[in-house]
Amino acid sequence: MARTKEFDPDAALQAALELFWRRGYEATSMADLVEGLGIARASIYATFGSKHELYLRALERYNEQHDPGLLAELSQPGPVLPAVRALVRRYAGMGDDDRKRGCFITNTAVELAPHDEAAARRVEVSYDHLETALTAALLRAEAQGELPAVREPRALARMLVVLLQGIRVVGKTAEGGPRVRDAAEQALTLLD
């Protein structure tokens, strides 16, 4: 005998992700969220608990949305190095708007991780996933003879993780486009 929800919590979470992603945690006020989510303030608190919990939920949502595609991209059968290259180039080749927004994980790592244990944990998990996926891909590349056996897959994967994070930072500025594209191409020569 309960009344049905009138809004879609999933869509609301998505809207919250959009806001936090674009403006960061501190600069996004509850008033912004009320407007952006299109639902009442009380409903936000009833559904998500607090601004902080909502942010963490948005962070998880971001991971859920991006991890599977990444994993699939890197574990396709056939040659793997082209997939890795495509991934890095996609990060580096994004349009101005995407570049400005950056990566939600990067943004969280910088703004919250140093003084927010819960946020830091999720960032770390995210890096772990990416590093593991890249390492597995590079190991497979090695096994398939695409990569000289002399390379160290784990260290190479870590280099790519760090590079991708750097791309998301430098990409935030106006001249970031050319900068990160050059950087990506240089780093990718390590895969030859």
Partner DNA sequence: CTTATTCTGGACCGAACGGTCTTAAAAGTT
Partner DNA sequence: AACTTTTAAGACCGTTCGGTCCAGAATAAG
35 contributes a contact to DNA by CB under 7 A? no
| Residue ranges binding its own copies (CB under 8 A) | 22-24, 26-27, 100-102, 106-107, 109-111, 113-115, 120, 123-124, 127, 131, 152, 154-156, 158-159, 161-170, 172-175, 179-180, 182-187, 189-190
Tokens of residue 39, six digits? 């639902």
115 contributes a contact to DNA by CB under 7 A? no
CA distance 97 to 107: 15
- Tokens 């830091």 belong to which residue? 120
* Neighbour count for residue 121 (Cβ, 10 Å): 12
CA distance 157 to 163: 10
11 contributes a contact to DNA by CB under 7 A? no
Q: Count residues contacting DNA (CB under 7 A)?
A: 22
Which is nearer to its own copies, 12 or 16 (by Cβ)?
16
Contacts of 161 (CB under 8 A, 6+ apart): 127, 130, 131, 134
Which is nearer to its own copies, 15 or 167 (by Cβ)?
167
Distances (CA, A) of 28 to 7, 54, 164, 183: 21, 12, 25, 32
Binder of residue 29, out of DNA, its own copies, none (CB less than 5 to 8 A by kind):
DNA
Binder of residue 186, out of DNA, its own copies, none (CB less than 5 to 8 A by kind):
its own copies
Q: How far apart are the first and last CA of the chain?
A: 64
1 contributes a contact to DNA by CB under 7 A? yes
Taking the mean position of all CA atoms in its chain, how far away is CA 148? 29
Binder of residue 61, out of its own copies, DNA, none (CB less than 5 to 8 A by kind):
none
Binder of residue 4, out of its own copies, DNA, none (CB less than 5 to 8 A by kind):
DNA
User: Which residues of this chain interact with DNA, rule CB under 7 A?
Assistant: 1-7, 28-32, 39-43, 45-46, 50-52
